[in-house]
Amino acid sequence: MEFKNLLIETADGVATLTINSPRTLNALNSEVLGELECALFELNLNDAVKAVILTGAGEKAFVAGADIKEMATMTAHEGHRFGLKGQRVMMLIEKMTKPVIAAVNGYALGGGLELALACDFIYASTRAKVGFPEVTLGIMPGFGGTQNLARLIGPNRANEMIFTGKMIDAEKALAWGIVNEVFAPDELLAKAREAAAAIAGVGTLGVAYAKDAIANGLNMGKEDGFRYEASLFGVLFATDDQKEGMAAFVEKRKAVFTEK
């Protein structure tokens, strides 16, 4: 499918999805959100894709937020519907069986930070600035940010970021555990591709089940989470990939996984 606002490049099992509207700093309007939903759905079904990198076009921004010009005239009902549309994209990323890495190359604000937080982990460039400026617009984060940020870094730091609306730089985002690593701007994509290639090279069934256990386990009590993990762990012993992975270890050769 052709997209007006997205670029998708796939090589060696890794798809790079770039939000490509740099004139508005890749702001998320309804059209971009709709395209993201379709593109991510297709990438999840595409057997040639083992991992996805999500980034923004241009040197300035990953995504500078939901589109303020579109939201400015919304009614309460339209605002609610727009929030649900954004949340659907975030939930889709979490439900995808393939890992999604956010490569945050500049501003990740509001809905942009929410998009990055929905990904499985975040790499950032030294140019990244992240924050939730919604309160400066008279609103609050609406694409899952209150939930995901507080779960990731704890309520106190999340409260500070969301209540003040202030941005933090890449160094502080790293110290606070929002991003996993920080790279020079011209290294960021290569480093994200390195991580994605490492994921694409291992048993993708194991990766998919681990993603499921982590994401769903976080919404359960610990005992239920352990029980859920044990059932997924058990199911993997019914796969060819488990037989192949362990045989390859014993025979001191590289495993050839078939995702069966």
Q: Of the ranges 60-68, 92-100, 176-184, 187-195, which one interacts with ligand CAA (CB under 6 A)?
A: 60-68
User: Is residue 64 near ligand CAA by the rule CB under 6 A?
Assistant: yes
User: Is residue 86 near ligand CAA by the rule CB under 6 A?
Assistant: yes
Residue selected from 30, 37, 92, 137 as contacting ligand CAA according to rule CB under 6 A: 137
User: Is residue 111 near ligand CAA by the rule CB under 6 A?
Assistant: yes
Kindly state the smallest distance separating residue 129's Cβ from ligand CAA, in Å. 8
User: Is residue 65 near ligand CAA by the rule CB under 6 A?
Assistant: yes
The answer to whether 152 and 178 have CB atoms below 8 angstroms apart is yes
Distances (CA, A) of 195 to 53, 80, 182: 10, 36, 13
Q: Of the ranges 2-10, 66-74, 91-99, 218-226, which one interacts with ligand CAA (CB under 6 A)?
A: 66-74
Q: Restricting to residues 156-185, name those near ligand CAA by CB under 6 A.
A: none
User: Is residue 150 near ligand CAA by the rule CB under 6 A?
Assistant: no
The answer to whether 52 and 101 have CB atoms below 8 angstroms apart is yes
Select 10 or 147, whichever has its Cβ closest to ligand CAA: 147
Kindly state the smallest distance separating residue 21's Cβ from ligand CAA, in Å. 9
- What is the rounded distance in angstroms from the CA atom of residue 208 to the CA atom of residue 61? 30
The answer to whether 106 and 125 have CB atoms below 8 angstroms apart is yes
Backbone angles phi, psi at 13, to 5 degrees: 80, 0
Residue selected from 8, 52, 67, 208 as contacting ligand CAA according to rule CB under 6 A: 67
Is 134 noted as a catalytic residue in this protein?
yes
Residues of this chain that bind ligand CAA (CB under 6 A): 24-25, 27, 64-69, 86, 107, 109-111, 114, 133-134, 137, 141-143, 145
Catalytic residues: 114, 134
